[in-house]
Chains A and B, each alone.
Chain A
Amino acid sequence: MLMAVGSLTVMGIALGGILGAAARFLAVEENPLEEELKAMLPGSQCGQCGYVGCGQAAAALARGEAPVTLCPPGGRAVAEALAKRLGVTADLSEHEEKGPEYAVIIEELCIGCTRCIKECSVDAIMGANKLMHTVIADACHGCAKCIKVCPTDAIEMRPVPMTLSNWHWAKPETEHTLH
């Protein structure tokens, strides 16, 4: 009995000591998580997440205060990258409902004030003073910042249309239990 208690105690102390030493000597430099997360975000400082910019959003993510799905323009890809880095499971159901969007300028309403051009953080709007503006759909990432500054409400967000090239097969509808 004493033998057993003794040997287990000794083993516990010895193994604990090894673990402690390993933690000290083999310690990995803490990753600058915030910087890493910031690099994953689009960096357009659109503020749709409710934080001032991507840096602040990254800080909140690092503190665990913000959900990984916070970035609407980043979409599924960013949410999944963040979730993977932070080791959490992302609830992507919201992203499923709201697909990617892009901004469209309604020609009749645009007065050519150039405010949206200045606001766009990815230079996706073309045009000049007093001339109609247009959005380069490929470059627009759907941050919707331009909508807020438009004095004539001439900009609206539209879902990226489904085409022959981006269509894909839906998940099979299956019965209750498979596999």
Chain B
Amino acid sequence: MSFLSTHQSGPFTHQVSSVQKTMFTVLLALMPATAFNLYLFGWPAILLFTVTIGSCVAAEAVCLMLAGQPTKAALSDYSAALSGWLLAMSLPPWAPWWIGVLGAVFAIGLAKHTFGGIGQNMFNPAMVARVALLVSFPVVMTAWVMPHPLFSAGAPGLADAIAITFGGQVPDSVSAASALGYVKTELSRGIPVTQSIAHVPDLMDMALGTRAGSLGETSAVLILAGGLFLMAKRIISWHTPVAVMGSLFLMGTLFHAIDPARYTDGLFHLMSGATFLGAFFICTDYVTSPVSKKGQLIFGAGCGMLTWTIRTYAGYPEGMAFAVLLMNSLTPIIDQYTRPRAFGRTLKGEPLPLEGKL
């Protein structure tokens, strides 16, 4: 009688889990926010979303084929779809189709497969793509529109949407600035935050998402719901999101207290931009963030503080993507310095002293 094998050591039982299941749960968590936002921004957004994810999956397949690896099994783990999804959520919803395609090449080809594919990449693929696109095509990448909910008056129909996405015919009248961008521009014109803040959507609108921005920047509430769902499913822990949002809020509040005319307040920072998407879905990316909880706290706090710094002082209104990439590069070092203490050893790895134990 022959048994499975004796070349394999235990355990002979395994938790019901797989990479595929994990990735799928994340997609599921993104679903409500995505659906709502696609509704808000209408057909052009739906087209761009489809193009981006499709290109990412196609890029993954091409890369795997070039590397001579089996494509079917690797594609079924949903990781490329997730990267594409997150990328799509960080793009202006009415951006032309080639932005999505080029983004896929950056995300999957450049950020993921040049490093060796899933699990090997140093930087978050979606954020690499977003930053590369933002730096290369600043105008297109900052052409925000106000929400035009599906089937509402003035919303583009499918034919108009095809013209917008594939023909590049964005009507000039609809463009709008994101809240962060608006405040920044006004500040550069010498108008203090205290005045400009009155013209941005109020916090309630920002939380619900009825404002200009990328798919993932709007509707903080639904993103939060998705994040809480992931926590309940134990896909992510509270450490990273709390650290990101906590540090961002603290920095904002602190500096706002010092000079309200120059600095926006903490709550504004939390509600604007990609804070929620970043805290729950970007900074928590397994591959590019530290493995230990302590490391994740440091990583998250770093992301939050860098985001605040970039938003406040740098040329771009939103800094989450840059902050994440910068912290990604520190992940190996954070990992090295946040190894847990081994059983029976001191933090330095020496055996615990016997004295005082009795």
Contacts and interface: CB of A to CB of B under 8 A. Distances in A.
Contacts, number: 14
A169 B9 contact: yes
Contacts of B119: 177-179
Contacts of A177: 69, 116-120
Contacts of A179: 119-120
A70 B322 CA distance: 53
Interface residues of B, number: 9
Interface in B107-157: 116-120
A170 interface: yes
Interface in B55-85: 69
Nearest to A176: B69
Given A177-B116, A177-B120, A170 B7 contact: yes
Interface residues of A, number: 8
Contacts of A176: 69
A135 B7 CA distance: 34
Contacts of A170: 7
A179 B115 CA distance: 12
Nearest to B73: A175
Interface of A: 169-170, 172-173, 176-179
14 contacts: A169-B9, A170-B7, A172-B8, A173-B7, A176-B69, A177-B69, A177-B116, A177-B117, A177-B118, A177-B119, A177-B120, A178-B119, A179-B119, A179-B120
Given A177-B117, A177-B119, A177-B120, 11 more contacts: A169-B9, A170-B7, A172-B8, A173-B7, A176-B69, A177-B69, A177-B116, A177-B118, A178-B119, A179-B119, A179-B120
Interface of B: 7-9, 69, 116-120
Query: Across chains A and B, which 4 residue pairs bring their CB atoms closest together, nearest first?
Result: A169-B9, A177-B117, A176-B69, A170-B7
